[in-house]
Amino acid sequence: MRLDVVTIFPEYLEPLNVSLVGKARARGQLDVHVHDLRQWTYDRHNTVDDTPYGGGPGMVMKTEPWGEALDQTLADGYDAGAQGPVLVVPTPSGRPFTQELAVELSERPWLIFTPARYEGIDRRVMDEYATRMPVYEVSIGDYVLAGGEAAVLVITEAVARLLPGVLGNAESHRDDSFAPGAMANLLEGPVYTKPPVWRGHAIPEVLVSGHHGKIARWRRDEAFRRTAANRPDLIERCDPAAFDKKDRETLSILGWAPEPGGRFWRRVEGVEE
C-alpha cells in the first residue's frame, strides 16, 4: 500500500518510522511519502492560510498550495506505478472512523492524507478532487484536535495492522473489538499472563481449567460485562439473534431485558452483578 501525507508539520509524522508501521515500511509492505505543504508556496512567508470569506474567527487553508501539492503527489504516485488513490481528509466534521472504515481503507492500494490546521481547508479543494477519486472526510472522535496529523497516525495504525502479513498472526484481528461481524460487536474482556498471583491478585481460575468451552463462555460473559459498563449503546444495537440462552441469562443478571421488538435495553441503572 502507498501512503502520502501532505502537511505543514512533516516532523509530526515521525512516529510512522516506529513500531508496527515502521516495520511494515522496512519490510516494503507500506510505501510512505510525507510532503511539506509549504513546498508549494511561493511568497516570502510561505503562506498556507487566509481569512475566511463571510467573516468569523480563525483562518482557512488556501486552495492553491493544496491543489499544487495534490497534483504533484498524484503525478509522482502514478509515475511510480501506484493506482486507485483515495483522499482521506481528517476533520472533526467527517464521518466517524470505525473498524469497518479501517477495513475498507485497508483494501485500497493508495491513501493520500491531507491533515489540516486552522479552521480547515477551503471546501473547493475537496470538491475538485472528488471529481477524480473517492474522498473520505473522517473524524476520529467527538473532540477537536489542533490539527489532523494525530488523526493520520491513528488511521494509519488501524489500517496498517490489517494489511496482509503485517501482524504476525493473521487471526489476531479476527476477534478485535469492533471487527465487522465479531461477537455481536462486544468489547473484548480482560486478559492475563504469568505469574498466576501478583500482589495478592490471582487470575480467574477458569483460565487454567483447561476446559475450552468454559473458558470461551467466561470470556463472552466478561465481554458482556465490560460492554454493558462502558458501551451500553453497543448492546442496544445488537441483533438479538446473535444472543444464545446463556447470553440472555448474563444480560439479565447485568440488568438488561428484551423489549417486545427483541432488542435489549437496560432495565434499571446499577443493579446487582
Catalytic sites, residue numbers: 92, 119, 161, 176
- Which residue, 145 or 207, has its beta carbon nearer to ligand ADE? 145
Q: Which residue is nearest to ligand ADE (CB)?
A: 90
Q: Does 92 bind ligand ADE (CB under 6 A)?
A: yes
Should residue 91 be labelled a site residue for ligand ADE when binding is judged by CB under 6 A? Answer: yes
Cβ pair 6, 73 in contact under 8 A: yes
Q: Does 114 bind ligand ADE (CB under 6 A)?
A: no
Q: Does 156 bind ligand ADE (CB under 6 A)?
A: no
204, 193 contact by CB (below 8 A): no
Q: Residues 141, 180, 196, 262: which binds ligand ADE (CB under 6 A)?
A: 141
Write down the least CB distance from residue 178 to ligand ADE, Å.
Answer: 17
Q: Which stretch binds ligand ADE (CB under 6 A): 85-93, 98-106, 163-171, 179-187?
A: 85-93
Min. distance of Cβ 151 from ligand ADE in angstroms? 4
- Among 140, 228, 235, 238, the residue binding ligand ADE under the rule CB under 6 A is 140
Task: Report which DSSP code applies to 263.
Answer: -
CB of 98 to ligand ADE, least distance (A): 13
Closer residue to ligand ADE (CB): 79 or 142 = 142
Rule CB under 6 A: say whether 90 interacts with ligand ADE.
Answer: yes
Site membership for ligand ADE, residue 145 (CB under 6 A): yes
Q: How many of the other CB atoms lie within 10 Å of CB of 193?
A: 7
Q: CB 140 → ligand ADE: shortest distance, Å?
A: 4
* Cell numbers that stand for 69 in this block: 501539492
13 binds ligand ADE (CB under 6 A): no
Q: What is the dihedral of CA 146, 148, 136, 103, to 10 degrees?
A: -120
Q: Does the protein bind ligand ADE through residue 151 (CB under 6 A)?
A: yes
Question: Please, where are the H alpha helices in the chain?
Answer: 19-26, 63-79, 99-106, 123-130, 149-160, 212-230, 232-237, 245-253
The residue with cell 489532523 is 148
- From residue 114, alpha-carbon distances to 8, 151, 182, 249 in Å are 10, 10, 31, 48
C-alpha cell at 253: 443478571
In whole angstroms, the minimum distance from the beta carbon of 232 to ligand ADE comes to 23
Does position 88 interact with ligand ADE (CB under 6 A)? The reply is no
- The angle at the Cα of 121, spanning 118 to 125, to the nearest 5 degrees, equals 170
Beta bridge partners of 95: 138
Question: In the complex with ligand ADE, which residue's Cβ is closer, 85 or 90?
Answer: 90
Tell which one of 28, 131, 143, 261 touches ligand ADE (CB under 6 A): 143
Question: How many distinct helices (H) and strands (E) make up the chain?
Answer: 8, 11
Q: Which is nearer to ligand ADE, 144 or 241 (CB)?
A: 144
Residue 59: CA atoms inside 13 Å, Cβ hemisphere, count?
Answer: 12
Instruction: Name 86's Cβ contacts closer than 8 Å, sequence gap at least 6.
Output: 105, 108, 110, 111, 112, 133, 134, 135, 136
Residue ranges binding ligand ADE (CB under 6 A) = 90-92, 139-141, 143-145, 148, 151
